[in-house]
Amino acid sequence: MPSSANRPENGGISFRVPEEAQGWRLDKALGLLLASPSPEQEAARPGLFALADLGLRARRRLCDRSLVLVNGKPGIPGLKLRAGQEIIILPDPEGAAIPEDAPSLVYKDGGIAALYKPAGMHTAALAGSLSPSLETLLGDLLPSEEEGYASRLLNRLDAPTSGLVLASCTDGGERRWYRAERIGNTDKLYLALIEGQPLYDFTVARRLDTDTRNKTRVRHTDDPDPVRHTDVTLLAPLTAGDVPGLVESDDPDAPLMLVGCRIRKGARHQIRAHLAAAGHPLAGDSLYGAELPCPSGFLLHHGRVSLPDFQAFRLPAWLPLLPREAQEKATAFLGMEEE
């Protein structure tokens, strides 16, 4: 089986996905790639290729710890591969490695692209500001594919929010996105760290008033349109002591919860406002009443977006800082297929 014996600058081992593995899950393909190493690869990473014999669970753990990159991005175990993609297995299997957190093109198809925006970066360019934004980098990340059409952003994330931002590089791609969103055929999954520990999954259906400049108001009545609701799935209970690098608290037992949020259309600050209205604001989100500070701001990550014939996902850079069980729950929520 053809495979590359390259040694990337990060010290990992590089492979190319062969034609025979087209459409395979990443965790399954790793078994094939690791089963037939070249002498150069075995010499470069002694012991690594024994993972092929340890089975599927060990290979999934590599993915869950962001130690397997697919075209430079962390790959979840259930990622479906395409022939020719580059897979890099990072060194130091005893310690999680966090890839460089920089804006990038995650996936593109049919005139629509999913771009990754790191936390701390604005989506749109601010008037009079020299700070980089996703919008100012758009021409380099996503050149237009249609004469007379300028690539443009299709949605936004708050500066502290990381994750996927949609953009179009053709007029047809732009119309395709807005049509899918209008009829409720878009699906957006977020990971969030909230204060408190609710007992059950819940949905927040309250109407939102986004006319105010800084803060979205939550009305007392429900919105009858389900595509305007926020569905919240409980993933893992935590305490401030479990995540010392992410949350600051004098009480290590202060309750937190990792949750998954699902929205469809989306409105300004929808998840932030809805969670606060439910009594569980994002940890670190002082605008919406959070009590626990976070050094890097609140933790909210847009990890997966789907519409007909289009799907993209990106794990958060802070995922390896969570306990192992929480990492596994987060990865599963964003789409890991269980066998």
The domain segmentation of the chain, as residue ranges, is 13-89, 104-334
Q: Which residue has the higher pLDDT, 182 or 38?
A: 182
Give pLDDT tens digits for 268-319: 899 999 999 999 999 999 999 999 988 878 999 999 999 988 999 888 988 8
**pLDDT value for 38:** 54
Strands 112-117 and 152-153: unpaired
List CB contacts of 234: < 8 A, sequence separation 6 or more. Answer: 198, 200, 201, 257, 259
**Lookup result for tokens 């037992």:** 253
Instruction: For the beta carbon of residue 57, count every other beta carbon within 10 angstroms.
Output: 9
Structure tokens at 111: 């005139």
Directed axis angle between helix 26-35 and helix 56-64, to 10°?
110
Q: What is the mean pLDDT of residues 319-329?
A: 90
Measured distance between the N- and C-terminal CA atoms of the chain, rounded to whole angstroms? 25
**pLDDT value for 57:** 65
Report yes or no: 210 and 218 within 8 Å, Cβ to Cβ: no
d(CA 155, CA 276): 22
- Confidence (pTM): 0.71
Give the 3-state secondary structure of residue 92: coil
For 279: left if phi > 0, alpha if psi spans -120 to 50, otherwise beta; the answer is left
The closest of 133, 107, 139 to 121, measured between CA atoms, is 133
The closest of 137, 156, 17, 130 to 79, measured between CA atoms, is 17
Structure tokens at 156: 């936004």
Structure tokens at 222: 């429900």
**With bands split at pLDDT 50, 70 and 90, how would you rate the model's confidence at 99?**
very low
**With bands split at pLDDT 50, 70 and 90, how would you rate the model's confidence at 190?**
very high
List CB contacts of 35: < 8 A, sequence separation 6 or more. Answer: 49, 52
**pLDDT value for 53:** 43
Top-tier CATH class for 13-89: alpha beta
**pLDDT value for 275:** 97
Report yes or no: 168 and 274 within 8 Å, Cβ to Cβ: no
**pLDDT value for 257:** 97
The closest of 35, 27, 25 to 1, measured between CA atoms, is 35
Give pLDDT tens digits for 18-74: 888 888 888 888 877 776 555 554 454 444 444 444 456 667 777 766 778 888 777
What DSSP assignment string belongs to 146-214? STT---EE-----TT-EEEEEEESSHHHHHHHHHHHHTT--EEEEEEEEES--SS-EEE-EEEE--SSS
Kindly tell me if the per-residue pLDDT of 115 is higher than 90: yes
Identify the architecture of domain 104-334 in CATH: 2-Layer Sandwich (3.30)
d(CA 169, CA 138): 10
User: Quick one: how many helices (H) and strands (E) in the chain?
Assistant: 8, 16
Half-sphere exposure of 98 (CA within 13 A, CB side): 11
Q: Report the chain's mean pLDDT, rounded to a whole number.
A: 83
Kindly tell me if the per-residue pLDDT of 139 is higher than 70: yes
Would 13-89 and 104-334 be classified into the same CATH topology?
Answer: no
Q: Give the range with max mean pLDDT: 17-21, 63-67, 124-128, 234-238.
A: 234-238
